[in-house]
Amino acid sequence: MRSTSPDCCSDRDGIGTTSPSLLLRVRDPGDNAAWQQFIEIYGPLLNRFLRGKGLQEADAADVTQEILRSVLLAIGRFEYDRRAGRFRGWLLTVAYSKLNTFLTRRQRQTLGSGDTDMELALRNVPEPAAESVDWEREYQQRLYEWACQQARNEFQTSTWRAFWMRNVDGRSSDDVAQELQMSVGAVYIACSRVTARLRALIQQVDDE
């Protein structure tokens, strides 16, 4: 899947106006479906973040599990208040804490071996605030990817292809209509339908 959000989904008007339903649901220890959905969304986001900090795949997977475990233990006490900041900002702080713990532990294990890679990695880990913009971009991208995964099978192949070709690949409506043997109006309708569904899915899980 491409890492570019479609233009017709870039207008976030209306998103974030609903209550943080997923965050409320995961506070219920009996709602296994909500926790599974939470992992589907945030697990890849955290793993991508950790890999970007230089961790190997196995290490990134382990630290991701540690972060999720910490969230599971703390989420019941998490008070949602937009004025105090978004949940994803708190999650980034937890991620940095676990990353620093991992790097410090690994540095101690390699102390005296002459290997300075871990020391350099630990020294170069920035503060969470320094990467808030990148984290926000990755968060928005992950929501979009997840929504596409959920919505893909809800539409006929031609509808989805029209949406993807026009709004992700950036092809003209005329070009898409000709290739798919659709009218230009049908291409616009396909885009509108898929976009509306993606926005609805994102509203359900966004922490705005």
Across the chain, mean pLDDT equals: 80
194, 163 contact by CB (below 8 A): yes
Number of domains present in the structure of the chain: 1
Confirm whether 136 is domain-assigned: yes
Confirm whether 41 is domain-assigned: yes
User: How confident is residue 167, by pLDDT bands cut at 50, 70 and 90?
Assistant: very high
User: How confident is residue 119, by pLDDT bands cut at 50, 70 and 90?
Assistant: very low
User: How confident is residue 118, by pLDDT bands cut at 50, 70 and 90?
Assistant: very low
pLDDT for 22 = 84
Confirm whether 137 is domain-assigned: yes
Question: Which of 101-105, 118-122, 167-171 reaches the highest mean pLDDT?
Answer: 167-171
* 48-73: average pLDDT: 92
Q: 116: helix, coil or strand?
A: coil
C-alpha span between 192 and 16 (Å, rounded):
20
User: How confident is residue 41, by pLDDT bands cut at 50, 70 and 90?
Assistant: very high
Q: Which residues contact 44 (CB under 8 A, 6 or more apart)?
A: 142, 145
Confirm whether 2 is domain-assigned: no
Q: pTM here?
A: 0.75
pLDDT for 104 = 86
Task: Give the residue with greater pLDDT, 28 vs 137.
Answer: 137
Question: Which of 30-39, 78-87, 140-149 reaches the highest mean pLDDT?
Answer: 140-149
Q: Scan for tokens 């009218």, then name that residue.
A: 183
pLDDT for 82 = 54
Q: Find the range with the poorest average confidence among 87-96, 122-131, 166-175.
A: 122-131
Confirm whether 1 is domain-assigned: no
Confirm whether 171 is domain-assigned: yes
Q: Find the range with the poorest average confidence among 64-68, 103-107, 139-143, 154-158.
A: 103-107
pLDDT for 171 = 96
pLDDT over 90 (residue 172) = yes
The gap between the terminal CA atoms of the chain, to the nearest Å, is: 25
pLDDT for 11 = 36
Reading the block at residue 193, the tokens are 């339908």
Domain ranges, residue 43: 7-205
C-alpha span between 10 and 80 (Å, rounded):
25
C-alpha span between 116 and 9 (Å, rounded):
45
91, 42 contact by CB (below 8 A): yes
Confirm whether 188 is domain-assigned: yes
pLDDT for 25 = 84
SS (H, E, C) 24-84: HHCCCCCCHHHHHHHHHHHHHHHHHHHHHCCCCHHHHHHHHHHHHHHHHHHHHHCCCCHHH
pLDDT over 80 (residue 202) = yes
